Amino acid sequence: MTGATTLSRLQRLDLLTARLKTDAPLVLRNLAAEFDVSQRTLSRDVDILRERGLPIEASRGRGGGIRLHWSWGIGQIALSYREAVDLLVSLAVAEQMDSPILMANLAPIRRKLMASFSPSDQSRIKRFKSRILIGQAASVFVQTGYKLPSPLLVERLHTAFLMTRVANLRYDDERGQRTERTIEPHYLLLNYPVWYALCWDRTRNAVRTFRCDRMSSISVVDEGFGLRPYSDFHTALEGDNIILP
């Protein structure tokens, strides 16, 4: 058998990792023969991969079988910055709703996600979360007329909200009259299941609240805005029993 140089070991570790991730049954004896090393050398390679965090299980059968634990892919999901922020915001909403079902482990999940961000990004995310408010459940009357907003509209509203960008909005009021507004979305309010955007309406030069399911279209403008203090929106929030994050 050839000696195990540093380079060949690194190559072998990469190849062994790739083979393990195929989820095919592997026998240590056969792999040793394939890689032209001793079974003891290959066992040391497996130990190195375990030290790197791969959850490798071994069986005691003839030749020694190895495989990755069924949970090996957990933690390997690559999220973009935007996806991670959206997930954190969703977790924050779920925590604020204080539902006892399937919510017991949200706090450690949130901490793990937050730990993956730099300190400056963590500060930004905390500011995002403080702008999401949870109120009381919507009335039966409101829920009767509720319809799900389109995914494209929600995506654009999220962009304007998270990136503090001005947006042009077409909005249908309760009488079905359509108006066009230029808005700054400062806060999002959930009166389950209905979402509202609390905005500074540049068209009316005043604070306005818009039901998201009544937005017929929204386009994000390449212009930022500075956040107004929460006190500017007190009147719009009266009677909503808001839960502050």
58 lies in some domain: yes
60 lies in some domain: yes
- For position 100, what pLDDT does the model report? 58
**Secondary structure of the chain: what % helix, strand, coil (to 5)?**
40, 25, 35
56, pLDDT greater than 70: yes
The reply to whether the predicted model has a pTM over 0.75 is no
| Coil/strand/helix, residue 61 | coil
**DSSP assigned state of 216:** E
Do 167 and 107 have their domain in common?
A: no
146 lies in some domain: yes
| Coil/strand/helix, residue 113 | helix
Reference 166, options 149, 181, 176; nearest CA is 181
Cβ atoms of 169 and 183 within 8 Å: the answer is yes
Q: What percent of the chain has pLDDT over 90?
A: 28
Cβ atoms of 214 and 171 within 8 Å: the answer is yes
- Alpha-carbon radius of gyration of the chain: 27
Backbone region of residue 71 per phi and psi (left: phi > 0; alpha: psi in -120 to 50; beta: other values):
alpha
Q: What is the mean pLDDT of the chain?
A: 82
| Coil/strand/helix, residue 150 | coil
245 lies in some domain: no
Reference 95, options 113, 122, 68, 118; nearest CA is 113
Do 192 and 162 have their domain in common?
A: yes
Do 138 and 161 have their domain in common?
A: yes
- For position 13, what pLDDT does the model report? 87
- For position 23, what pLDDT does the model report? 67
Of residues 203 and 93, more confidently modeled: 203
Do 98 and 61 have their domain in common?
A: no
What does the pLDDT look like over 163-172, one tens digit per residue? 899 999 999 9
Reference 30, options 3, 2, 61; nearest CA is 61
Number of domains in the chain: 3
* Residue 32: pLDDT band with limits 50, 70, 90: confident
226, pLDDT greater than 90: yes
- For position 124, what pLDDT does the model report? 78
Q: Which residue has the tokens 């083979």?
A: 19
- For position 244, what pLDDT does the model report? 46
Do 142 and 160 have their domain in common?
A: yes
| Residue 33: burial class (beta carbons within 10 Å; 0-12, 13-18, 19+) | middle
1 lies in some domain: no
* Residue 87: pLDDT band with limits 50, 70, 90: confident
Residue 181 belongs to domain spanning: 134-237
What does the pLDDT look like over 93-125, one tens digit per residue? 777 776 656 556 677 777 777 777 777 777 877
Do 200 and 158 have their domain in common?
A: yes
Output the six-digit token pair for 162: 């998270």
Do 209 and 231 have their domain in common?
A: yes
- For position 110, what pLDDT does the model report? 77
